[in-house]
Amino acid sequence: MQSIFMKARTSLETKGRFAAGAVPEAIADSWHRCLQSGLDPIGEPIDAVLSFQELRERKEKNERLIAIVRPELELLSNQIAGTNYMTAFADGTGVVLDAIMDSEFSASDCARSIRSGSIWSEEMRGTNALGLALHTGVTSMVTGGEHFFSKHGNVSCVSTPIFDSKGQIVGLLDASSEVAARQFHTQALVVLAASNIENRLFIDEHRNDNIIQFHPRREYLTTQSVGMISTDAEGAITGVNRHASDLLKGMDLGAARSFADLFQGGFGAAMKPLEGGEVIRLIDWLNAAYFARIRITRKHDGSTGAKRSIALSVPAVFNLPTVADAPVYRDEQLCNSLRLAMRSARVGAPFTILGPAGSGRTTLARTVHEELHKDSPLIVVDCRTANALGEAERLMADILGDPNTQDFNVRSGGTLVLENLVLIQGGAAEKLAQVTNRLLQLKNGPKWVIITTGSEEHALDKVDWPPHIKMAFSQITRMKLHLPPLAERTDFAQVAGFILSEISHGHQLSNGAVEVLRAIDRPQNLNDLASQLRVLAVQCPLGVIREEAAERHLGEGQRDGQLASGDQACPRCAGHTVRELKCLEINRVFRQCNGNVALAARKLGVSRNTVYTHIKSPEIGP
C-alpha cells in the first residue's frame, strides 16, 4: 500500500499535479515552481556545466572565499567519511566550485553529475537541496523521492547557504549521499561548518573595522555562536553576522545605521574599556543584556579603512616568517604573552621576549608595533651584526637622527627592537646603553617602546658587561615574556595548515599527517616547519597529504621534551626521581606562562592547587 507521499509522487509523475498537503511545504512549493518552469519529473534534468574557461574564471573570482571554505569542507568530509558521502561548495549562483567524495560515492552515477562546474539551480536541476537552499535562503534537506526529477530519487542531500556581512548569499555547502535515510546529524554538521565559514569570512571582510563580539553568556564569547557587529571609527555599522541578527531579534537591523541605534550608553563610552581589552556589558534598546569584547584582527595590506581597536583577551596575531599575510592563532600562552606585551607597550614599559629560535620573537615585537605605533618609526637591530660589523656609530645616528635636519630623530617616538641583546659587546654596547638611557629619560612628547629578544638559555645576568652597561640594560629587560616552542602550541594544526595553504593552494593535510609533523623535533620551529611543508608540497601530488606520505618524505621525528637546564625541584620533591621530574615540569611551564597559575594549570592539565604546591616563585601573575 502506497504512503500518502508516494501517492502524491505518483500523481506528480503521471498527471503533473499532486495533493500539496501530502508533501512537506518547502518541497511542494519547489515542485510547483518546477512545473511552472516546464520541467518534466520523469524527463532528463538539464546537465548544465560551465566550460573549463568559465569555471576557471569563476574560481578566480571566488579565490579568497574558496581558501576560507576549503578547510571546513575537508573537515566536514572527514566527519562523515566512510558513509558513501560527498561534500561540495557552490557559489552564490549554484555553480559547484569544489567537491570531496569518498571512494564509494565517486563510483556512483551521482558523482558524474555533481562535479566542479555543474549548475544546480532549480530551473535546471529541479528540486534539490542546493537549489532549494539558494531559493529560500535557509538550510534545506531533500531526500530520495522529494527530488523533482525521478532520476535523482536515489540520493539524499542537505545544503545550507553561506551569508556575508551584508546578508547576501555568497555560497552554499552541500552534503549528498546515496543513503536513503534522512541524516539529521549530517545536517547539524553542515550548518556548523557554514557558521564557521561565515565567521571567518566576516572577520576577513572587516579587518579594517572594529569587530565587536557579543553574547548573553560570557563563556560563549569564544564560540562560533557569538554575535559580531563591525563599525568604523565613528561607530557607523559596516556589517552584522547572522548570529548577531538572531540575538537581536525584535530590533530593526535594517534601519540601524550606528552602534547607538542598537545599544544604550553610546559608542565612545563602550569603546574605551573595549580598547583596553576588557569584557563589558552591553544593553540593547529592548533592555536585553550581553557580554561584549573586541575581536583582534590585522589590517589588510594597503587598506585605507578606519583604524581598528585591539582586543587583549582574544587569540594573538602572529606573522610567520615565510608568509605574507597574518592568520589569527589561538594558542592561549601566545595570547597571554601578547596581552602583557600590549599592556607594557601602552604605558611605555620595556620588555623582553624569550623563546627558542624560530618561535616568533621578532614577529611578536613587530606585531605590537604595527598594532599600536604603525605610523611611527620601527628600528630593528640585530646586535650580532652591530657588534660584528662595527656599526655602533651608525646605530647611534639611526636612532638619534641628525639634529641639524628636520628628519626623523629621537623625539619622533616609535619602537626599538634589539635582537640578541646578550651578544652585543664593546663600543656597540656602550653606544646602545647611551641610546636606551636617553629614550627612557624622555618626559614629553611621543614615547618609545624598547623591546629586546633572546633565547631562554642566554641569561642577561651572566653576560660580561661593565657595571654601568649592565645597569642600563637591566632597566629594559626586567619584564620577561615567554613564547613556547612550536611543538607545545595548542594551535599546531592551524599553523601547519595555514603555512601549507600559502605554499600550495592545491594541498591539504590530513589529521594523521598533522600528527606526524607534530612529532618531529625542529630546532628552528616555524622556519623548519615551513621547509618541511615545502618538501611535502613538492613530493606529494595535489590533494590531501596523508600520514603515510608525511612519514615517507620526512621520516620519524621525536618531540624534544627535555626540561631546561638549571631548573631545580622544590624542597618537597627534591631527591624523589618521579616527583622531581613532575615538579620541574610544573615550574618550567609556570615560568613560561609569566607566572599565570590558571594558564599553567590548563596547559599541564592539573589543578591550580597542584601548581601552587610546586612553584618556587612567590610572584603570582594575573
Q: What is the pLDDT of residue 308?
A: 34
Rounded Cα distance between 529 and 524, Å, is: 8
Amino acid, single-letter form, for residue 214: F
CATH superfamily for 52-197 is GAF domain (3.30.450.40)
Q: Which helix (H) or strand (E) holds 369?
A: helix 361-372
Rounded Cα distance between 500 and 503, Å, is: 5
Burial string for 401-423 (b: 16+ CB within 10 Å, else e) reads beeeeeebebeebbbbbbbbbbb
Class of domain 486-554: mainly alpha
Is residue 359 within 8 A of residue 461, CB to CB? The reply is no
| 465 DSSP 8-state letter | -
369 CB contacts (<8 Å, ≥6 apart)? Answer: 376, 378, 414, 415, 417, 449
Q: What is the pLDDT of residue 580?
A: 75
Does domain 332-482 sit in CATH 3.40.50.300? Answer: yes
Q: What is the pLDDT of residue 173?
A: 95
Q: What is the pLDDT of residue 444?
A: 66
In the three-class reduction of DSSP (H, G, I as helix; E, B as strand; rest coil), residue 127 is classed as coil
Rounded Cα distance between 150 and 617, Å, is: 74
Q: What is the pLDDT of residue 167?
A: 82
Largest CA distance in the chain: 100
| 216 DSSP 8-state letter | S
Nearest of 301, 341, 345 to residue 323 by alpha carbon: 301
Q: What is the pLDDT of residue 410?
A: 62
Rounded Cα distance between 25 and 41, Å, is: 18
Angle separating helix axes 511-519 and 547-554, nearest 10 degrees: 30
In the three-class reduction of DSSP (H, G, I as helix; E, B as strand; rest coil), residue 210 is classed as strand
Which residues are 86's β-sheet partners?
A: 101, 176
Beta strands (DSSP E) in 210-255 are 210-215, 227-231, 237-240
Domain boundaries, the chain: 4-36, 52-197, 206-294, 332-482, 486-554
Rounded Cα distance between 17 and 51, Å, is: 36
Q: What is the pLDDT of residue 394?
A: 59
Q: How many CB atoms lie within 10 A of CB 341?
A: 25
Question: Which ranges of 175-249 does DSSP label H, i.e. alpha helix?
Answer: 184-205, 242-247
Q: What is the pLDDT of residue 395?
A: 56
Rounded Cα distance between 77 and 81, Å, is: 6
Q: How many CB atoms lie within 10 A of CB 444?
A: 6
41 CB contacts (<8 Å, ≥6 apart)? Answer: 12, 13, 16, 34, 126, 148, 149, 150
Instruction: Tally the C-alpha atoms within 13 A of residue 544's C-alpha that lie toward its C-beta.
Output: 19
* Rounded (10°) CA dihedral 185, 186, 191, 194: 150
Beta strands (DSSP E) in 95-216 are 96-101, 140-143, 156-163, 169-177, 210-215
| 457 DSSP 8-state letter | T
Q: Which residue has the cell 566536514?
A: 76
In the three-class reduction of DSSP (H, G, I as helix; E, B as strand; rest coil), residue 504 is classed as coil
365-387 pLDDT, tens per residue?
A: 888 888 887 778 888 887 876 65
How many angstroms separate the Cα of 261 from the Cα of each of 206, 212, 455? 20, 15, 50
Q: What is the pLDDT of residue 180?
A: 58
Which residues of the chain are under the pLDDT cut of 70?
1, 81-83, 104, 107, 109, 111, 179-183, 296-330, 385-411, 444-446, 457-462, 555-567, 577-578, 616-622
Rounded Cα distance between 384 and 306, Å, is: 39
Rounded Cα distance between 40 and 38, Å, is: 7
Q: What is the pLDDT of residue 324?
A: 34
Q: How many CB atoms lie within 10 A of CB 170?
A: 18
Starting at the edge strand found earlier in the chain, the sheet holding 140-143 runs 96-101, 85-91, 169-177, 156-163, 140-143
Residue 211 cell numbers, joined = 569587530
Q: Measure the CA angle with vertex 301, ends 297 and 302; round to 5°.
A: 125
The reply to whether the predicted model has a pTM over 0.75 is: no
In the three-class reduction of DSSP (H, G, I as helix; E, B as strand; rest coil), residue 317 is classed as strand
